Amino acid sequence: MTGSTLPFDDLERVYERLAETLDALPEEQESHFLAQLALALAHRVPEVDRVMAAIDEAREGTSGN
């Protein structure tokens, strides 16, 4: 597995773009959009282990709610 990741400045740009894209969507389409986005991003990651790890990370982030 390669360890290369997105620089934080770019991650911040993604954050802002996502916020604005979400605001442009009807609320009931949010989860549909995010699921599509997850698949589209996963397609661009050559190692499946990294995608699975990301799923686990996001899952953990919701467990403390």
Check binding of 2 to other proteins (CB under 8 A).
Answer: no
Check binding of 60 to other proteins (CB under 8 A).
Answer: yes
Cα–Cα dist 58/7, whole Å = 19
Check binding of 64 to other proteins (CB under 8 A).
Answer: yes
Closest to other proteins by CB, 16 vs 49, is 16
Q: Is the dihedral of CA 17, 22, 25, 29 positive or negative?
A: positive
CA torsion, ordered 8, 55, 37, 17, to nearest 10 deg? -30
Check binding of 3 to other proteins (CB under 8 A).
Answer: no
Check binding of 23 to other proteins (CB under 8 A).
Answer: yes
